[in-house]
Chains A and B, each alone.
Chain A
């Protein structure tokens, strides 16, 4: 009996808490009112067993016009012992195909992206914080001014979930989500710093994304730096030199940009300019080992 009481109390408290939580309703983001419904045409892939990660990723890839065979994706993102997939690996798999994986972490930006025509892959905890049931689904639309969310989820195609119900499960997934976009396209909710963070680790087909980024944020020196590096990596030396110059013009205190400008100038045959640039980098970042070594290399041991 005592044991029952002991076990009973937390459960009762939990139920009461859940009851109260169920009473709290949060309305859908205001911007949903501007367009009461939206439904995107996203190919549906039903999941097998526990494999919602490969299935959800496959849908995002197919929406981008790429092969999204879930069996092949299992080898890329599945963790057999965990019976699941990690979010960072889903992001990395998209990025490795030359797609921009950009985070969507608020209810307002979720609606904003869906309005812009971009499906959003979300992580939900369908159960409770104590007994998590992690699940990936793809938000493909909404109706009734956002009161109902439309998802490709598990084995259900275009299933509907009430806004509040969805929001709770997404909040328990720490509002983790992302869009996956082809070159030339940016999230409607794009901000320069998250864009830089999303593009920086990209090794395949990154250049067109950087081009789009500097067109969208022409005054941002950090994005200019990424663009210049992508040009350099693509062997477009002349264009990279111009881009490094444009970078230091907008971000005159950015030591890495002066460092790289020095190499681009040296490559262009301008030894004096290269020396001035690397010394400028050294003055800005006197503690930086990389820059210090660059000084030795560029000035051929003479120093600044």
Chain B
């Protein structure tokens, strides 16, 4: 909870600092990504959320071993929606890895399932029938 409040405060401070430099805070052309994501949220809320999401997403990448330089580069490419997914659901999102590293106890079952054609862990095994 405390973290959330700090995050919201940081986001607000950042917003208002931006406001100081740009006199008309958000009178502007509407970007296409802005239109797409603001169809779900009000504009002001969208900007606050984007800042918060960006901060949370940066933590997610850093926690997963991405270097500080790469974190900023990688976040800059994401759309509002992707940033939000990374910030909120990274742990539930599948990270595609590889065909190695299964616990031994599971291997036997998987071989059987492979034989039945239900799974495809070991390419060598062709399903029976």
* Chain A contacts to B: CB under 8 angstroms: 11, 14-15, 18-19, 21-22, 47, 49-53, 56, 75-89, 91-93, 95-96, 123-128, 131-136, 153-154, 156, 159, 161-162, 164-166, 168-169, 173, 196-197, 199-201, 203, 222, 225-226, 229-230, 232, 256, 259-260, 263, 287-290, 293-294, 296-297
| With known contacts A76-B70, A96-B77, A134-B97, A82–B117 Cβ distance under 8 A | no
Pairwise interchain contact A80-B64, C-beta atoms closer than 8 A: yes
Of B24, B99, B119, B123, which contacts A128 at CB under 8 A? Answer: B119
Minimum C-beta distance from A204 to chain B (A): 9
Which chain B residues border A95 with CB–CB below 8 Å?
77
| Shortest distance from the beta carbon of B79 to any chain A beta carbon, whole Å | 3
Residue of B44, B65, B94 near A81 (CB, 8 A) is B65
- How far, in whole Å, are A153 and B106 apart by their CA atoms in the complex? 22
Check B64 against A225 for contact (C-beta < 8 Å): no
Q: Which residues of B contact A229 (CB under 8 A)?
A: 29-32
Q: How far is the CA of A56 from the CA of B86 in the complex (A)?
A: 21
Q: How far is the CA of A289 from the CA of B44 in the complex (A)?
A: 8
For this complex, into which size category does the number of interface residues on chain B fall? 35 or more
16 pairs of residues in contact across A and B, judged by CB atoms under 8 Å: A21-B118, A50-B97, A51-B98, A77-B74, A80-B64, A80-B66, A84-B97, A96-B77, A134-B96, A135-B97, A169-B120, A200-B79, A229-B30, A229-B32, A288-B43, A290-B43
